[in-house]
Chain A
Amino acid sequence: EVQLVESGGGLVQPWGSLRLSCAVSGFTLSDYSVNWVRQSPGKGLEWISYISASGTIIYYADSVKGRFTISKDDAKNSVYLQMNSLRDDDTAVYYCARDGSTTSSFYYTHWGQGTLVTVSS
């Protein structure tokens, strides 16, 4: 069974940093791309980052470019999102989501349950 489990969320002050983890099982990270998608009441669902199965292709949404860094460790079956210079509008539930095919489809067949990040002083 495919599973993705996020962790690392919490309360952080503006300009602070947080590192999210996504532990995966039931599939091989080197076969599928993984994305981070966030959801807030104000903005709805927002795709924020992508890492290819090979790890060599990475994309970011403009809203997080230069502040967030996606990475992965295939041996640990984990994908990470390092978030720096956090702002109030980064407050959201953060999901990791797996692509639907081994050829980077960008539709998401499997999602984690999400981890809440709250940016507030």
Chain B
Amino acid sequence: DIVMTQSPDSLAVSLGERATFNCKSSQNILYSSNNKNYLAWYQQKPGQPPKLLIYWASTRESGVPDRFSGSGSGTDFTLTISSVQAEDVAVYLCQQYYGSPTFGPGTRVDIK
């Protein structure tokens, strides 16, 4: 199975600041035939299911605020929140779907 790792484990940011989280896959998840990275990002708040934010590494899901953006390719990926809001307090998880789907352990975001 492809192993997903995330860093940092947790992050405290001030309101309005930029937050950046990283996700790394144990093998390449860029499919050369369609040039797509099989990587999704989710936001999960306590007691709720995950909510899809980003798929194909950089495509924002409908209704997701444009302060969320995804980047990266191959094995290294980044989720950025350009200006953190109070409602962004959550755990952010990455998932690869190149092989049998696997998820990272998550990065917890709190307000400083």
Q: How many residues of B contact A (CB 8 A)?
A: 19
Report Cα–Cα, A112/B105, bound state, in Å.
20
Q: Tell me the minimal C-beta distance from A46 to chain B in angstroms.
A: 7
Is A106 within 8 A of B97, CB to CB? yes
Is B55 within 8 A of A100, CB to CB? yes
Q: Tell me the minimal C-beta distance from A101 to chain B in angstroms.
A: 9
Is B106 within 8 A of A108, CB to CB? no
A27 adjacent to chain B (CB < 8 Å)? no
Q: Tell me the minimal C-beta distance from B37 to chain A in angstroms.
A: 11
Report Cα–Cα, A101/B90, bound state, in Å.
26
Chain B residues whose C-beta falls within 8 Å of the C-beta of A46 in the assembled complex: 103
Chain A residues whose C-beta falls within 8 Å of the C-beta of B101 in the assembled complex: 35, 37, 47, 106
Residues of chain B at the chain A interface (Cβ within 8 Å)? 38, 40, 48-52, 55, 61, 93, 95, 97, 100-106
Residues of chain A at the chain B interface (Cβ within 8 Å)? 35, 37, 44-47, 59, 61, 95, 97, 100, 105-109, 111-114
Question: Can you report 13 A-B residue pairs in the complex whose CB atoms are below 8 A from each other?
Answer: A37-B101, A44-B103, A45-B50, A46-B103, A47-B102, A97-B49, A100-B52, A106-B101, A107-B40, A107-B55, A107-B97, A108-B50, A111-B50
